[in-house]
Amino acid sequence: MNKLYNSALAIVLLAGTASAQHSPYALAPGSLGLSKAYSGETQVSSPRPSPASIGARGTSFYSEDFSGGFPAGWTTVDDLTPIVDTPVLFEWANSAAAVTPAAANQPLILTFLAPGASDGFLWANSDRGLTSAPATEHLTRLTTTAIDCSGQPSVLFTMNSTIGVFDNNASEFVKVRVSTNGFDWTDFFPFPCLETGAIAPPCGRFSYNPQEVAVNITSVAANQPTVYLQFEWQGLWEYYWAIDDIALSPLPDNEIVLNYGYTSTTGLGEEYGRIPVSQLPSTMNVGGEVLNFGGADQTNVVVNLTVEGPGGPYNSSIDVGTITTQETAIADDNIDISSFGIGDYTATFSVTSDQIGLDGNTDDNSRIRTFEVTEFIYSLDNIGNHPAGLESVSQTGSGSFLDNSENVKLLNMYYINTPMTVTGLQIGIGAASDPGSSIVISILDTLDVLSTPSVVTNILAESDFYVLTAADIAAGVVNIPFPTPITLDVNAYYAVASCYADGTSDVFILDDNTVPQPALASALWIPFDPDNNQFFYGGNGTAWAIRLVTDPNISVQENEELMGITMYPNPTNGILRINSVKSEKYTVEVLNVLGAKVMTNVFTGNTVLDLAGFADGVYSVRVSNGTQSFVQRITLN
């Protein structure tokens, strides 16, 4: 399998006890000043599409929709929280907004979006309104009364659920447990890839909202007259776990699911939304994951691919063979794309088998990917080009992390297949941005960024500060040129957007959550971490709207630059004079090569700065009157 990420399964099906899956770049709990109160500025312009509905299951023989309140005889306990502290227990609610206080302004989980939430659901509040992590973890258990599964040769557990984690991975500490006596339990993990760290679902901090979970509990529950279910959550200071529409049903006989399809020009998993024709390789790695969700084997399984675009269609078939019940298989191939020209392309994947005519839910038999071959733009994101109804976009930037409002770096990795001259970057601007905030773009070598510790000072190309205007924010995109074009040789590079708040004016950059990306395709660099001073986090799993531009005529929008400011001498051995033609009140900030503020002052008209105490090097000096800014680089030697 060439695909390097664990994509969201169309149906999260677990056939037994699952083991945790760890990202090598997962955030440590509470690191980088990363607060649960992520600030609320990460906004979703459209909801993250949920996996395909579990429509092929058999008729349920047990169900609970919680419309009658907390079920009689069910119990909820917290076996770890000290008696003097607030326990974490499951409670009943019938308002989707009941969970809002525990969401800590996270828009992906701000309300519980299960279809039946207004009729009632159960939820546990790990947040509890705390301002910091508690001293002790909670161990919350919700246990059902006995359920009769006699006469059922197979048992599928399903529910609608949403959960958010912060300190403990759900892949280890969130369980659905099954017992036939109430004492001996078999553990199943309904969220096998859900880990702390990245925001984006389903393998980051939050599940889908809601996520349709399906767990095959046949090994414990089949033909048993007494079956207990238990929902167990061990956490410290998480968000919440909400559950609704629980059901037990027999497995369908025939149900095959195409979990996902992929189109990768690198063969390593990255799916670039826009690829310059000059950077197209001769082949594209394509394929998908197929799940046999049914009780019967599927034979002669084939994944068919049709790519519609200029000069198309292009067709391919990938033989998978037999997939036994409850197993998955990867269909993988490399197709010839040497004839692809500039234009939009749609890749449609579909799965067939000898039993496809008996399939219980044909809606999950196909998947779609789109991409564009361009002349001048190279982008990891595909914002604006995704199929209707599937696009999911959020925004991240200077206001996203407590104590890290200046020089938050967002990075996208780009593979250069033939030497390419880059003239600047195109940045997708989030609507929560404020005029007066700033962006600096740069190009870094991946070897520097991925070293330990991460190095972001060996800059291959860098722009001056670009100060956002209201027009930029309204347009939603800005082109920022490099002072001199840079030719990138065959290699992998990071395109970087460094975000600067300039006080209370934040800048946010769009993030494409629609297509899962592999580790390190997009990354985050934080200037301040209490333990390490700097922190690099790879494996965001999404795609920032940070795009390479090769257009020699790249233009930048007119900017309202502060006029009448002069700085001298440059270079300087320490003394820097700043003069203004107006007698206004100004703020001056001196930033080092890492973007950290090393000096801040307020003056009227003219001032003199003494930089003699700082190390030799290049500094950025920014003067602002509150609405306009002027930035100049000063060399200290």
Average pLDDT over residues 360-372: 92
pLDDT at 502: 73
pLDDT above 70 for 349:
yes
pLDDT above 60 for 341:
yes
Domain membership of residue 599 (yes or no) is yes
Instruction: Please indicate, yes or no, whether residues 126 and 199 belong to a single structural domain of this protein.
Output: yes
Instruction: Please indicate, yes or no, whether residues 421 and 491 belong to a single structural domain of this protein.
Output: yes
549: which 2 tokens?
A: 């531009």
Q: 3-state DSSP call for residue 577?
A: strand
214, 249, 284: which is the final residue of a domain? 249
249, 284, 304: which is the final residue of a domain? 249
pLDDT band at 532 (very low <50, low <70, confident <90, very high): low
Strand 343-352 vs strand 138-143: parallel, antiparallel, or unpaired? Answer: unpaired
The overall average pLDDT reported for the chain is 85
* CA–CA dist 594, 572 (Å, integer): 20
CATH number, domain with residue 490: 2.60.120
Task: Give the CA-trace dihedral at 399, 401, 404, 410, to 10 degrees.
Answer: -80
Average pLDDT over residues 453-481: 90
Average pLDDT over residues 112-134: 94
Question: Which residue range(s) make up the domain with 203?
Answer: 60-249
- Residue-wise pLDDT for 216-274, tens only, equals 999 999 999 999 999 999 999 999 999 999 999 998 889 999 988 999 999 998 999 99
How far is Cα of residue 382 from the mean position of the Cα atoms in its chain? 14
Average pLDDT over residues 408-432: 96
Average pLDDT over residues 538-543: 72
- In DSSP notation, 102-144 reads GGTT-GGGSS---TTGGG-EEEEESSTT-SS--SS-EEEEEE-
Instruction: Please indicate, yes or no, whether residues 143 and 240 belong to a single structural domain of this protein.
Output: yes
Total count of domains within the chain: 4
Instruction: Please indicate, yes or no, whether residues 118 and 224 belong to a single structural domain of this protein.
Output: yes
pLDDT band at 150 (very low <50, low <70, confident <90, very high): very high
Closest CA to 26 of 168, 144, 208, 224: 168
pLDDT above 70 as % of the chain:
85
pLDDT above 70 for 198:
no
Average pLDDT over residues 349-354: 97
pLDDT above 70 for 369:
yes
pLDDT at 558: 42
pLDDT above 80 for 11:
no
pLDDT at 40: 33
Higher per-residue pLDDT: 227 or 311: 227
Average pLDDT over residues 373-390: 94
* CA–CA dist 133, 129 (Å, integer): 10
Task: Please report the beta strands in 489-574, taking only residues with DSSP state E, as ranges in sequence order.
Answer: 491-500, 508-512, 522-526, 535-538, 543-544, 546-549, 565-568
pLDDT above 90 for 308:
yes
**Using H for helix, E for strand and C for coil, what is the string for 450-475?**
CCCCCCCCCEEEECCCEECCHHHHHH
Higher per-residue pLDDT: 60 or 404: 60
Average pLDDT over residues 517-537: 73
pLDDT at 35: 43
69-83, 203-217, 361-375, 474-488: which range is least confident on average?
Answer: 203-217
- Residue-wise pLDDT for 559-614, tens only, equals 456 788 889 898 999 999 998 888 888 888 888 877 777 888 888 888 999 998 89
pLDDT at 31: 30
- Residue-wise pLDDT for 46-85, tens only, equals 333 444 445 555 689 999 999 999 999 999 999 999 998 9
Domain membership of residue 499 (yes or no) is yes
Report whether 543 contacts 511 (CB < 8 A).
Answer: yes
Strand 240-249 vs strand 211-216: parallel, antiparallel, or unpaired? Answer: unpaired
Report whether 303 contacts 351 (CB < 8 A).
Answer: yes
Domain membership of residue 573 (yes or no) is yes
Domain membership of residue 559 (yes or no) is no
Instruction: Please indicate, yes or no, whether residues 242 and 276 belong to a single structural domain of this protein.
Output: no
Average pLDDT over residues 150-157: 94
* CA–CA dist 138, 497 (Å, integer): 40
Instruction: Please indicate, yes or no, whether residues 163 and 118 belong to a single structural domain of this protein.
Output: yes
Average pLDDT over residues 320-342: 93
Residue 145 makes CB contacts below 8 A (sequence gap 6+) with 71, 72, 73, 74, 228
Evaluated on CA atoms 169, 171, 175, 179, the torsion sign reads negative
pLDDT above 60 for 201:
no
Tokens 């809002």, residue located: 100
Distances (CA, A) of 43 to 242, 311, 469, 560, 576: 21, 39, 20, 27, 42
Instruction: Please indicate, yes or no, whether residues 280 and 332 belong to a single structural domain of this protein.
Output: yes
Domain membership of residue 53 (yes or no) is no
Domain membership of residue 337 (yes or no) is yes
Q: 3-state DSSP call for residue 7?
A: coil
Higher per-residue pLDDT: 536 or 432: 432
* CA–CA dist 121, 64 (Å, integer): 9
pLDDT above 80 for 127:
yes
* CA–CA dist 296, 465 (Å, integer): 61
Tokens 């307020």, residue located: 602
pLDDT band at 105 (very low <50, low <70, confident <90, very high): confident
CATH number, domain with residue 203: 2.60.120.260
Report whether 159 contacts 123 (CB < 8 A).
Answer: no
Average pLDDT over residues 127-131: 91
pLDDT at 627: 65
Report whether 445 contacts 519 (CB < 8 A).
Answer: no
* Residue 270: DSSP 8-state: -
Helices vs. strands in the chain: H and E counts, helices first: 4, 41
Domain membership of residue 464 (yes or no) is yes
Task: At 473, give phi and psi (nearest 5°).
Answer: -65, -40
Instruction: Please indicate, yes or no, whether residues 217 and 328 belong to a single structural domain of this protein.
Output: no
pLDDT band at 405 (very low <50, low <70, confident <90, very high): confident
pLDDT at 247: 96
pLDDT above 90 as % of the chain:
57
pLDDT band at 538 (very low <50, low <70, confident <90, very high): low
Average pLDDT over residues 15-21: 26
C-alpha gyration radius of the chain: 27
Instruction: Please indicate, yes or no, whether residues 227 and 331 belong to a single structural domain of this protein.
Output: no
Instruction: Please indicate, yes or no, whether residues 132 and 216 belong to a single structural domain of this protein.
Output: yes
Instruction: Please indicate, yes or no, whether residues 140 and 166 belong to a single structural domain of this protein.
Output: yes
Tokens 């929280």, residue located: 81
- Order of strands across the sheet with 508-512? 393-397, 508-512, 543-544
Instruction: Please indicate, yes or no, whether residues 193 and 71 belong to a single structural domain of this protein.
Output: yes
pLDDT at 4: 30
- Residue-wise pLDDT for 426-451, tens only, equals 999 999 999 988 899 999 999 999 88
CATH number, domain with residue 621: 2.60.40.3080
Distances (CA, A) of 601 to 114, 483, 586: 52, 28, 8
CATH number, domain with residue 328: 2.60.40.10
Residue 440 makes CB contacts below 8 A (sequence gap 6+) with 462, 463, 464, 465, 466, 497, 498, 500, 595
pLDDT at 534: 60
Domain membership of residue 572 (yes or no) is yes
